[in-house]
Structure 1
Amino acid sequence: LNQSSGAMNDNVPFFPLCPLKKKGVYHPSTHSLDPSLPPNSVYSRDEVAHFKSPRYVLRLRVRWTHAHSDPGSSSHLCYRNSMDNMLQFMKLVGQLKRVPRTGWVYRKVKQPESVSDHMYRMAMMALTLQDPSVNRERCMKLALVHDLAECIVGDIAPADNISKAEKHRREKEAMVRITGLLTEDLRKELYQLWEEYENQSTHEAKVVKELDQLEMILQAHEYEQLERNPGRLQEFFDSTEGRFYHPEVVALVKSLNEERARHMTKTASEKTAELNCHTTMTDSS
């Protein structure tokens, strides 16, 4: 980054990293920019911290070339450079499909959702908002951008013991680099959307924050259903209690809690019946 002009320097190598697994333990602290690692290398399944499916991650080496960076370049070269950078941007976005949500990894959820999964449902939640005082389009954009930095820094969870200030610093650096691949208008728009969400500076940003929390507890409920282990992820519900204010979100949370309570009662009854059946069969034998 050119400190005087605030513009990205050309031909600066960029190495987005994935967290590594050390002796089977997930270490989010390894998220960093380390130019000592070889470019264009492919990490095997065992080397990638939390991939639960046989996927591979390409370590990208991006060169910062902007269409406006060289006044003397031909229009064809400018367009090619612009498209090259857009392609690299899309590859970074694609990394989000392979970055699992750390909270589920720590709690040993099988095949945990990705950051991309999380943001997609948030965007759908934003799309279905009916409040006329809320700009739905802006909410959708905020939902799609708010975790974009995690394609580089990973999903930093509270359990990682990384301060909010340090988390913000890492994500800000990542956003500068990611948006540096885009044209000036897009770069400004995406970075400002991320900043708006981080600062919670608008009504829409606050609503999307509630959608973020709602999506998390909805996912927790789904995992409890899949595992037939109701209540196992109660801490996620406890952490969001009293943090919902928008009427539509509050109504959805109420409906979710009611469904979860019914599921807990039903599962408890089924397990009791299974236990009684097993006891009866044991006694008869």
Structure 2
Amino acid sequence: MNDRTPLLTDQTPLPDTIEARLRRQLTFLIEVDRLKTILRQSPLAAADRRENDAEHSWHLAMMVVVLAEYADEPIDVGHTIKLVLVHDLVEIYAGDTPIYHPTMGADQAERELAAAEKLFGMLPADQAAEIRALWDEFEARQTPEARFAKAMDRLEPQLLNWMARGGTWLSPGITADDVRARKAMIGDASQALWAASKQIIAEGERRGWARPGQARR
């Protein structure tokens, strides 16, 4: 998508009689319905298809609720849920960047920044600033909540790949050590969850669901 991509509400405009602030909020909420169409690489555990971004974000929110007790630092659960719900909205315009893709990450920051400015700018100024601040916080990983949110973002696809008996772990050129390297930031938020993650990867490697070998440099 680009700056000239029509909004969903351009197809069926909201009534002109709706108050301006609410109209902007509803326009944004309709536009983020696009998140349901952005496919990720991870396979679902419960169906033979790939996960979409909206499903991923919901799953992270549920993981925050269930796994918050394993955070190494106290976290505000409600704030962390906000972070995971917002973190992938920019992919509506920027697209998903697979973690194991060798080249797509090169311009990821530029694409996502442009997407953030376009998407969040639909909201009233105060809410645009609030949502943008949440997105920036997640990206920076400087708060306990952001570190835990990012850990959930790494752990969730790991669980799906385990259930798929490899999934994206079997991407060309990827080894179990590559997986460990890309999941290591889980340990920035929770040593307990990182220990469990390493056990999952090691068992996957033992079963042949991830290739043995050294991580790429």
TM-score by length of 1: 0.56
Q: Distance in 2 between matches of 1:251 and 1:157?
A: 24
Structure with higher Rg: it is 1
Whole-angstrom CA distance in 1 between matches of 2:121 and 2:108: 20
Q: Deviations over 1:91-143 (max 9, x none)?
A: 22211111101x349xxx95210011111111111112114611211211111
Cα separation, 1, equivalents of 2:75 and 2:130: 19
The residue number in structure 1 matching 2:215 is none
Q: Give the partner amino acid of 2:59.
A: R
Query: Residue 244 of structure 1 aligns to which amino acid in structure 2?
Result: I
Q: Which residue of 1 aligns with 2:191?
A: 247
Name the aligned partner's letter for residue 78 of structure 2.
Answer: E
Residue 145 (structure 1) aligns with: 86
**Equivalent of 1:97 in 36, 39, 42:** 36
Q: For residue 220 of structure 1, what is the aligned residue in structure 2?
A: 161
Residue of structure 2 in register with 1:86 after alignment: 25
Aligned counterparts, 1:68-147, within 5 A: 80-101=19-40, 103-104=41-42, 111-128=49-66, 129-130=68-69, 131=71, 133-147=74-88
- Give the CA deviation at 1:79: 5.2
Decide which of 237, 240, 257 is 2:179's aligned counterpart: 237
Let me know the Cα RMSD of the aligned residues: 3.4
Alpha-carbon distance, 1:85 to partner? 2.0
Give the aligned partner of residue 214 of structure 2: none
Larger helix fraction of residues: 2
Q: Per-residue deviation at 1:211?
A: 1.2
- The sequence identity of aligned pairs, in percent, is 24
Counterparts in 2 of 1:239 and 1:92: CA distance versus 1, 3 Å: farther
Spell out structure 1 runs of 4+ moving beyond 6 A. none
Aligned-partner Cα distance in 2 for 1:241–1:155: 18
Match of 1:210 among 127, 132, 151: 151
Distance in 1 (alpha carbons) for counterparts of 2:98 and 2:165: 20
Contact 1:97–1:115 at 8 Å: present in 2 too? yes
SS at structure 2 position matched to 1:113: strand
Number of the residue aligned with 1:169 = 110
d(CA) in 2 for partners of 1:94, 1:195: 21
Counterpart secondary structure, 2:39:
coil
Unaligned runs of 5+ in 1: 1-16, 18-31, 41-58, 63-76, 268-285
Q: Per the alignment, in what secondary structure is the counterpart of residue 157 of structure 1?
A: coil
Closer/same/farther in 2, CA of residues 232 and 211 from structure 1, 3 Å limit: same
1:140-161 CA distance string (max 9 Å, x none): 1111111110111111235272
Task: Number of aligned residue pairs: give it.
Answer: 192
Shift, 1:241, TM fit: 5.0
**2:213 matched residue in structure 1:** none
- Per-residue deviation at 1:243? 3.3
> Residue 224 of structure 1: CA displacement?
2.2
State the one-letter code of the partner of 1:100: L
Compute the displacement of 1:184 (Å). Answer: 2.6
Q: 1:248 to 1:119 in 2, by over 3 A?
A: farther
| Inter-partner Cα distance in structure 2 for 1:78 and 1:198 | 38
Q: CA shift at 1:238, angstroms?
A: 4.0
Contact 1:196 / 1:205 at 8 angstroms: preserved in 2? yes
